[in-house]
Structure 1
Amino acid sequence: MLLTSILPCDGKSLLSAAGFCCLLICPPGLAESAQDEQQQRPQQETVPQGREALSFYPITEQAEIEKNRLSDQAIAYPANPVSRLSPLLEFGDDFLGRGPIKPGIKTPFEQMLQPTFLLYGQFRSALQSYDAEGKDIVQWSTRLDLHGDVKLSGTERIVFSLRPLDNDKGEDTGFTFSPDGGEDNWHDQTNGKLTQLFFEGEIGEIFPRLDPSDSKTWDIGFSVGRQELKVQDGILLNDTFDALGITRNSLIARGLPNLRLTALYGWHDIDNPFADVTSPSRLFGLLSQADTAWDNSLDLDMVYVDNDNSANAWYLGLGSTQRIGMINSTFRINTEIPLDEDNSTLSKGTLVTAELSGGFAHSDDLWYFNSFLSFDDFSSAARSRDGGVPLANIGMLFSPVGMGQYGVPLGDSIEDTYGAVAGYQHFFGGIGSQFIVELAARSSMKSQQKRDAVGVGLRYQKSLSRQTLIRFDTFFAVKEKQQSAKGVRLEWLLKF
């Protein structure tokens, strides 16, 4: 046989053959002797894995311990270090710094705390002109976003935010010039109101005794306080309100190598300027995100809003992000289902969006093509007043700038409409200077609504330093049964 010509017929060689039975190729007597030899061999030692491997073959001789001990001397990195950008204010260990870490503080629960504090943010100043929707405005606007991060450990921190130059009604500190020769107007909206204040942490890290070996299911994260939340890329939910969120991450199910579940409860300052609801509301949500065996990420979110005036509704969202060949793609469907369809304070509707983007060979330039289809009149479960329409992330012409009275070029109602956005982003000699041109169009599925519009937008931005940049925006749009809209603005931004 071919098998016997390849394998020599002795017991030791046959026992080392990959799974072949020696009874098929050797005489019975030789097979029995091989089995006896196999039974006399000691069982193979199991190689430990995970934490057990830490004590595998421990070193006991002092000379060997000293030989393998890590040195206390700092060794210079062979490359020239990049200078660190310091936050506006910091205490404790340097953020992204080098050198020894200060000793921590052990809590009664045996958690090690290493407190640090960072104060960072950005300042924006813009001169802008907006002519649309029956108003012609020329103004200088400012905005300051400050964020404080009290880091207690790697998983626990307290975060607060302020916007001391503008308020939640979209009014900011600046100067409005009257284009008709009337009276100029200085407006001061300085304030000390906190826009965010929340604590986040992880139960398993706060109470290490619950799981000393880190092998149980106590890796439960949570956050509580006033915080900004965005769901379905800001389509289903985009607001800042008082909320409690509890998250279980790294769950594994069949076909889902990683699953994250979040239970959400919101109880105060839930806002939606597109719904005629003024009474207090409460928000309940179950949010899930999963990586799948089909090489995509799925988002399935359910939100229920309970209102004192019976303006109650379900908000459901499903999204999928994946690569199709060389194209990045995201598809989403979001729907609003009021429990009482006769309640005029709420609308109902479904919004379908598709986002495609990609690059060019031998170039850093990017292209994108996004489209949407809206049935009835969809609105978000909660939306801040400066968050724009639910299509704010689909393109520049649907997105607010977040400063002053500069409007959204195509930010009208999306009731029974469809549209698309096509854009091209070009980089000049690196990422420090870039130019974006975008063309967008929208139309109504009902001819009597007269909401057809088309617009073009341009943006150029250039970094002046590692912390500052300038940005120039302009647009022109033509809307059915309305006057043409146009705008131009120049912004200076400082990050710290």
Structure 2
Amino acid sequence: MSRCVERVFRFFGAAAMATCLLVGGHSAWAAETSEFSDEPIPMKTPDELPARTPPLVEVGPDFLGPGNIPEGIELPTGAVWTPALWVFGSYRTALQYFDRGPTDQLEEWRNRLDLFANVHMTPTERLLVGISPLRDGSDFSGCDLSSGGSECEWHTDLDVTTVFVEGEFGEIFPNLDPDDSRALDVGFSVGRQLLFFQEGMMLNDTVDGVGVTRDNIILPGIVDLRITGFFGWDNIDREPSLDGGATTLLGLFTETDFRKSTFNLDATWVIGSSNENAIGDTFNIGASSVQRVGLYNTAFRVNHSMAFNPAGQKTTDGTLFFAESSTTPAYSHDVAYLNAFLGLDSFTSAARDPIAGGPLARVGILFAGVGLGNYGSALSNDPDDSYGAALGYQKFFNQQRTQLVLELGGRGHIDGVNPAAGALGLRLQHALGDRTLLQIDGFASVNEDQADGQGLRAELLFRF
């Protein structure tokens, strides 16, 4: 298998270089055609527009369909609802080979199916229900091919992975504010829902809870301020290897828009369970600033976790610093990026889904998992006492239907105990029709004082 992988890597390396040379040759052409035309462009007629790609099931008004909006049903509150049911989802299937050096190699075929039913009332009110029938937690349906044979396991878990109701009081009760002059821009969501804050570094988990959001708060010097309070009572994952382990999650999340930047300040308190295996309480706080500096998009984040469990081992004190920058080279739609991180002590996320991987996924494709099977990240996404960076280039071509990402990354450890590592990775994505995507990922890594690593996977993604 290793010889085969070496040959494949050589092929993809040559293909990547050839692609860059060929596509890079279009820079002059792009420069000649980058100016806006002085000729007016007429409006397209409905017959000239691309055909709509509908979801799997549509009952009621079409999803993003043309034409007039239906009259709807007027409620006693004054709200007008136009009920619709849209069923959509995705199916992923992949062949994967993974060997990060320190870990045992694996060869597998894995599958994932996600189905959602969206009961639409208005653009702000809906009920969303989702299931993932081909997986049981982090175990995905498919076959283990590592032993030369094929040991297959098929999961038919119909547990609900997502179910929540969301809306806005001002839209549900418009008669209370016919002039839209009162502070009724208060949204809510109740049920099992995804919490994703600080780009998943602080919080990336599906939690049972209720959230309330006050939007459109205008203060001097501020364009807009949004504040969200959240109370979670179940389905809280403290560690990738631990199911639950907490009874309550309290969160306060803010987003402030200034004229030249967006600032987020988020805080959570996770209360541990009271049983004998309790892992204690954890307080997390995170701040970020996103802005454009000249020709560069930049973001700076700092997240800190504080544990209140002297005897515990699952939650600890630590700080994670993160910086990212990207730019679009002249006369192109491409993206060049450089991201870096620094972890001091042992930072712990407030809650993290077992299939979400570690908090360093934002650094680059070499640090991110794929969310399917046992194929891990090329470089460890554990931030404990470590530092690292990723330099990459994302190339778009073939009328934006194909993209290639080439990335070089590395990481080291402050304490000098864990070995340093570096890797080169690529990701090729190509659209097949309107609903299908082919994705090929590969990497080769060098690990200090350990065997080198390599990985290769091919995935088909179907959206419906």
- Is TM-score (shorter-chain normalized) higher than 0.5? yes
The change in CA–CA distance for 1:87 and 1:435 in structure 2 (over 3 A counts) is same
The partner residue of 1:266 within 232, 248, 251 is 232
Distance 1:163 1:223 in 2: 21
The partner residue of 1:280 within 246, 255, 260 is 246
Conserved 8 A contact 1:450-1:481: no
Matched, 1:188 2:154: yes
* Alignment-mate amino acid for residue 224 of structure 1: V
Query: Which residues of structure 1 form unaligned runs of 5+?
Result: 1-74
2:360 match: secondary structure: coil
* Alignment-mate amino acid for residue 134 of structure 1: T
Corresponding residue for residue 224 of structure 1: 190
1:160 deviates by 1.1
Corresponding residue for residue 70 of structure 1: none
* Alignment-mate amino acid for residue 403 of structure 1: L
Matched, 1:329 2:312: no
* Alignment-mate amino acid for residue 258 of structure 1: D
* Alignment-mate amino acid for residue 243 of structure 1: G
Conserved 8 A contact 1:259-1:291: yes
Conserved 8 A contact 1:276-1:346: no
- Structure number with greater CO (CA < 8 Å, separation at least 6) is 2
Distance 1:103 1:223 in 2: 26
The change in CA–CA distance for 1:310 and 1:167 in structure 2 (over 3 A counts) is closer
**What is the 5 A alignment of 1:455-494?**
455-494=423-462
- Give a deviation string over 1:174-215, Cα, whole Å, max 9, x none: 111134x4x420110122111000000011111222212211
Conserved 8 A contact 1:84-1:97: yes
Corresponding residue for residue 204 of structure 2: 238
- Give a deviation string over 1:355-392, Cα, whole Å, max 9, x none: 00011111122100000000001011000001111011
Matched, 1:98 2:66: yes
Conserved 8 A contact 2:240-2:355: no
The change in CA–CA distance for 1:356 and 1:165 in structure 2 (over 3 A counts) is same
Distance 1:276 1:157 in 2: 32
Length, aligned pairs only: 417
Distance 1:159 1:85 in 2: 20
Distance 2:243 2:47 in 1: 59
Matched, 1:395 2:364: yes
Between the aligned residues of both structures, percent identity stands at: 38
The partner residue of 1:361 within 330, 337, 344 is 330
Corresponding residue for residue 78 of structure 2: 110
Corresponding residue for residue 89 of structure 1: 57
Conserved 8 A contact 1:272-1:385: no
Distance 1:445 1:177 in 2: 37
Conserved 8 A contact 2:237-2:245: no
1:394 deviates by 1.5
- Give a deviation string over 1:218-254, Cα, whole Å, max 9, x none: 1100000000110011110000010110000010112
**What is the 5 A alignment of 1:93-492?**
93-132=61-100, 133-168=102-137, 170-179=138-147, 181=148, 183-273=149-239, 279-293=245-259, 295-308=260-273, 309=278, 311-447=280-416, 449-492=417-460
Tell me whether 476-485 or 465-474 shows the greater mean CA deviation.
476-485
The change in CA–CA distance for 1:403 and 1:340 in structure 2 (over 3 A counts) is closer
The change in CA–CA distance for 1:127 and 1:344 in structure 2 (over 3 A counts) is closer
* Alignment-mate amino acid for residue 322 of structure 2: T
Distance 1:86 1:140 in 2: 29
2:313 match: secondary structure: coil
Distance 2:381 2:300 in 1: 22
Provide the TM-score with structure 1 as the length reference: 0.81
Tell me whether 411-420 or 377-386 shows the greater mean CA deviation.
411-420
2:363 match: secondary structure: coil
Distance 2:245 2:327 in 1: 45
Conserved 8 A contact 1:148-1:160: yes
Distance 2:304 2:83 in 1: 43
Provide the TM-score with structure 2 as the length reference: 0.86
RMSD: 1.8
1:413 deviates by 2.8
Distance 1:419 1:76 in 2: 49
Conserved 8 A contact 1:457-1:473: yes
1:103 match: secondary structure: coil
Distance 2:228 2:244 in 1: 28
1:435 deviates by 1.1
Distance 1:350 1:340 in 2: 17
Give the greater-gyration-radius structure (CA): 1
Conserved 8 A contact 2:236-2:245: no
1:76 deviates by 9.0
The change in CA–CA distance for 1:479 and 1:412 in structure 2 (over 3 A counts) is farther
Distance 2:173 2:57 in 1: 30
Distance 2:431 2:379 in 1: 28
Conserved 8 A contact 1:275-1:345: no
